[in-house]
Homo-oligomer: A and B are copies of this chain.
């Protein structure tokens, strides 16, 4: 299988030597006013683990991170961003010079249509309210749709049901080279866990990696990605 193939080919790992790798990680925060925001439970652990594994495999790594509480892996260039549009701008700039783009961030699909300059005050007689949302840029689809300077583009699909089916559909629709799917509804897997179990899907098929520490899983994923990009 792919993992064994990778291990055989590259052994103890400089499988990404000379490669430029860009990885997005963590959630985005979409401001509603100066104090409130919309976000998600992504911890950034998987993206940070991939950045470390890619760097150890010899790559020059740029890590574009949403708001997370994680230390920057050694020798990795980190760019901090808050919302999806900042992440898009940073990702587009970094992608111009990269060989492999990995979108591990959980980018908010939508953001509040307007951001209040002052903290929104609750009215005493107001029992309901609403937040109007507009679509955020689709960062990974933007990179994957390039006709020039298009890196090998990898997405993530964090789902709570029909995981492989959604992931397959996302791979096709966004023109990705590979997608890494995981079920975030499982205990001991996905968001904020130190462990994860994923299925790697490309146009040739799928390959499931059993639950492992995100750091170990990241090493396996980097070997698979290296094998794929050198075919």
Interface residue tally on A, bucketed by range: 35 or more
Known contacts A160-B35, A160-B119, A110 near B129 by CB under 8 Å: yes
CB pair B134 A132 closer than 8 Å: no
How far is A109 from B131 in the complex, measured between Cα atoms in Å? 13
CB pair A119 B36 closer than 8 Å: no
- Complex interface: chain B residues within 8 A of A130 (CB): 130-133
CB pair B122 A110 closer than 8 Å: yes
Known contacts A129-B110, A130-B130, A135-B127, A118 near B160 by CB under 8 Å: yes
Q: Return the contact of A34 from the options B39, B106, B185 (Cβ within 8 A).
A: B185
- Complex interface: chain B residues within 8 A of A109 (CB): 122
Q: Return the contact of A158 from the options B35, B37, B113, B191 (Cβ within 8 A).
A: B35
- Complex interface: chain B residues within 8 A of A159 (CB): 119
Binary flags per residue of A12-53, CB closer than 8 Å to B gives 1, else 0? 000000000000000000001011111111100000000000
Within 8 A of B (CB), among A107-133: 108-110, 113, 118-119, 121-122, 124, 126-133
Copies in the complex: 2
| Whole-angstrom distance between the Cβ of A165 and the nearest chain B Cβ | 11
Asked if A161 is an interface residue, CB under 8 A from chain B, the answer is yes
Asked if A173 is an interface residue, CB under 8 A from chain B, the answer is yes
- Complex interface: chain B residues within 8 A of A35 (CB): 40-42, 106, 158, 160, 184, 191
Known contacts A36-B39, A39-B37, A161-B118, A134 near B124 by CB under 8 Å: no
Within 8 A of B (CB), among A84-116: 106, 108-110, 113
CB pair A135 B131 closer than 8 Å: no
Asked if A69 is an interface residue, CB under 8 A from chain B, the answer is yes
- Complex interface: chain B residues within 8 A of A121 (CB): 166
| Whole-angstrom distance between the Cβ of A42 and the nearest chain B Cβ | 8
Q: Return the contact of A37 from the options B40, B118, B166 (Cβ within 8 A).
A: B40
- Complex interface: chain B residues within 8 A of A119 (CB): 158-161, 184
CB pair A131 B131 closer than 8 Å: yes
Binary flags per residue of A155-186, CB closer than 8 Å to B gives 1, else 0? 00011110000100000010000000000110
Q: List 7 A-B contacts (CB under 8 A).
A: A34-B185, A36-B38, A36-B108, A37-B38, A37-B41, A122-B135, A130-B132
